[in-house]
Amino acid sequence: MSHFKILLLLIPLFFLYRHELLAQSTTPILSFSDFPDNLYLNCDDDLPTSFAHPSVLLDTVGSMCNGTLILDYLDNNLNGDCENSFTIERVWSAEICGDVIESSQYLYFNDTTPPIILSPIDGAHVCESSFTSIYPSAQDNCQSTISLSFNSVQSQYCDGVTLINYTITAFDNCGNTTIESRSVYVHDTMPPSFINVPVNDTVSCLASVSLQSATYDCPEGLVYIEENNSLFSSCTGSSVQNYSLTDACGATSYATRIITIIDDVPPVFETIIPDITLYCEDDIPSDLPNHYDVCATSMLTESVNEIQGNCPGERVVTRTFTITDPCGNSTETSQIVTFVDSLPPVFTSSPPAFTEIYWINGDVIPIPEYEIIDDCDVNSFVEVSEIITVDDSQGSDLAETIVRTLTATDGCLNTSSVTYTMIYHPQVFGCTDSIACNYNSIANDDDGSCLFDIIGYDCFGNIVPEEYCGAGTFWNSELGVCEAVSLSPGCYFDTNYNGTVDSNDLLTLLSAYGLTCE
């Protein structure tokens, strides 16, 4: 029994004044208003610590009461119909000035919740050594003792696993009942078995690796793990599949599948370097072809073979490229580089294009002077050829025209030439006295052969009238004799009587100059 007391001071707020003049009384009047409702609680609930209180109506009009209102309650425990079901009767009382009123509020604690079945967990996979996980159990929220019954049916679920189907009934003393069906998979302590493990395999590196899973007969309750690891050496590789199968007892079976990967595919040239023809002094190309290997990393090597051509500046170079992978697969290609000498030697110096040479000046026909270079043949040589013509025309000095050609030739028979011209004025013997009968106008070296004429005669023995006839005479060509000059009174100076005074008359006078006239 519990007791509760509330003291209320008489202040105007708590009083209900009545001003009915005809109904005045000397005794206070008490009554409850807003009385708390009854409470319905579960058996395992705690007694509320916070709850509603009833309201009290107080009428002291016409009374002599000036006391304190006391609100109080008293709890009485009443037994229920079953264990842990009970009722608390809460008796509320109000008192002032010796006047008391009472009323009851009921708190009903009832057991309406059925028991809870704890084990086995429906659909659980348990080990046969775990007895508590297999045997049914239950609990109640209000009662420590409950009634539990069950029946079970066992069947072989799969290899090493037994299926137990339970029907479980649990009820308490208050008639609350739970009936449930539970299924439990019980594993023995032996490791589970694989039905099929994929066989080992060997594939080419170009083939796709087919990963396969192992199989087992239990559709559930086992933990299946598959791990794939790839391992590669310098040549071959492998893909390893590891399988594990673990049951509820922690027993594990293991299996392995090995896929061996072989590299039987040679590397491939991605680009090919074409054959090429170069000049003899060019360098051997250094460019390399691109290549790839679908399975491994390949290595490129180059070898060079050189064969001399038919002449010094020519050769054929074969560049052989080989790509090899770590497994010995290889591919080969080559580039032919032909070096040719297509350019002739070059004259870096040569005689001038035209030269005149005079013997009289002490000049001589020069020996050819030249220099040549050849990028491909240091043994290139020069041949000299010339054409000589002599100008023997009337009045010439027998000058020789020498057209000289220098031809440079290398070992590949490439040629270049330079042509130049020399005019040679040679030594010419003869009479160099211009008054001699045999004067040679082109002679430049007098050989003492000059012949001179007799006065009155030319070099050929013919009479020269101007010289043959004496002063005061003239040559009569008709008679072939000299005759005395008889001067014409009209033309005293026409000494040869040809009717004109010309240069011959002047020469006659000059030839007579200084003579003494008798």
Domains and CATH numbers, the chain: 2-110 (no CATH), 116-187 (2.60.40), 194-262 (2.60.40.10), 268-340 (2.60.40.10), 346-429 (2.60.40), 455-518 (no CATH)
Indicate whether 37 pLDDT > 90.
yes
pLDDT band at 104 (very low <50, low <70, confident <90, very high): very high
Residue 215 CA from chain centroid, whole number: 44
For all residues of the chain together, what is the average pLDDT?
Answer: 85
Contact between residue 185 and residue 156 where contact means Cβ atoms under 8 Å apart: no
Given this model, what pLDDT does residue 144 score? 82
d(CA 30, CA 71): 11
Query: Which among 15-19, 308-312, 460-464, 476-480 has the top mean pLDDT?
Result: 308-312
d(CA 99, CA 69): 10
d(CA 341, CA 313): 5
pLDDT band at 493 (very low <50, low <70, confident <90, very high): low
Q: Which of 316, 289, 321 minimizes the C-alpha distance to 302? A: 321
Q: Which of 78, 62, 73, 81 minimizes the C-alpha distance to 32? A: 73
Tell me what percent of the residues of the chain surpass a pLDDT of 90. 47
- Return the minimum-mean-pLDDT range out of 116-120, 361-365, 384-388, 503-507: 503-507
Helix (H/G/I), strand (E/B), else coil: 348: strand
Token pair, residue 512, equals 């007579």
Given this model, what pLDDT does residue 33 score? 86
- DSSP summary character for residue 350: -
pLDDT band at 5 (very low <50, low <70, confident <90, very high): very low
> Hey, which residues does 242 pair with through a beta bridge?
227, 256
Given this model, what pLDDT does residue 503 score? 78
Question: How confident is the model over 466-480, as pLDDT tens digits?
Answer: 677 766 677 777 777
Distances (CA, A) of 48 to 74, 109, 115, 137, 191: 15, 12, 25, 32, 57
> Hey, which residues does 388 pair with through a beta bridge?
402
From its phi and psi, is residue 332 left (phi > 0), alpha (psi between -120 and 50) or beta? beta
Given this model, what pLDDT does residue 369 score? 94
Indicate whether 84 pLDDT > 60.
yes
* pTM for the full predicted model: 0.47
Which DSSP string corresponds to 160-214?
A: TEEEEEEEEEEE-TTS-EEEEEEEEEEE-SSPP-EEE-PPPEEEETTSPP-----
d(CA 347, CA 410): 12
Contact between residue 95 and residue 152 where contact means Cβ atoms under 8 Å apart: no
- Return the minimum-mean-pLDDT range out of 104-108, 309-313, 332-336: 309-313
pLDDT band at 490 (very low <50, low <70, confident <90, very high): low
d(CA 335, CA 287): 11
